[in-house]
Amino acid sequence: MKTSKISINWFVDFDKEEQWLNDMAKQGWAFWHTNGVIYRFKQSKPEEFIYQIDFDEKKKDGIGDYVVFRSSCGDQFVHQWKSKIYWKRETTSGPFEAENNVAAKLRLTNKAFNYHLNSFIGLTLIAAFAFLVLMPLSRHLPENAFSSWLNDFSIGLTYGILLAELIILLPVLKKLHKKINELIGQII
């Protein structure tokens, strides 16, 4: 019988991540660690725990006092990854209070949006350099194996980057932008 489980998942929406962790807990998998993509679980009783994701407002000060405070309220610190803090409590203790942490979610979502936008811009600049500099350069060099390789490399790099941007980055940016607008709507 399996006593641990690893799951690969990537979330743009923190509410969906929290819901997924709670769905896993209902199936008897207690979350204990993540690096943002790989989630680790230990077997537990089905519906033993419920989870909440909170957001750390501090940069380097640590969360010691906050953990002590939340622990005194019956919550259990599970893990911290970057600005996200994962909490759990026994289901018998009742649900988490509905915290209105919209401003923290908005800051974190905006940070993720800016990170992916900068990646998009950087990759676009690399593709433009390959297309506008390397490809013409390869055609002005004497005809040999290197000029042929440089031409093929610049074409492959340009199309590869554009394809990755269309398949991965643009949908992520679209989802983050939609989430930002939803969070702004909750504040207003």
| Phi/psi at 88 (5° precision) | -140, 160
Question: 3-state class of 103 per DSSP?
Answer: helix
Is pTM beyond 0.75 here?
no
- Give alpha helix (H) positions in the chain: 14-26, 64-72, 102-129, 135-140, 145-164, 170-187
In a 13 Å sphere around the CA of 43, the CA atoms on its Cβ side amount to 4
- For residues 187 and 103, what is the distance between their CA atoms, to the nearest angstrom? 8
Residue 60 has pLDDT above 60, yes or no: no
pLDDT at 61: 57
C-beta of residue 35 within 8 angstroms of C-beta of residue 64: no
**What six digits make up the tokens of 14?**
């923190």
pLDDT at 41: 96
Q: Tell me the pLDDT band of 160, cut-offs 50, 70 and 90.
A: very high
pLDDT at 59: 52
Which is higher by pLDDT, 17 or 107?
Answer: 17
The one-letter amino acid at 170: L
Q: Where is mean pLDDT largest: 10-19, 78-87, 152-161? A: 152-161
In tens, the pLDDT along 25-43 reads 999 999 999 999 999 999 9
- Pairing of β 84-90 and β 4-8: unpaired
DSSP 36-88: SSEEEEEE--TT-EEEEEEE---SSS-SHHHHHHHHHTT-EEEEEETTEEEEE
In tens, the pLDDT along 72-103 reads 888 999 999 887 889 999 998 888 765 557 87
pLDDT at 99: 55
pLDDT at 62: 61
Which is higher by pLDDT, 166 or 83?
Answer: 166
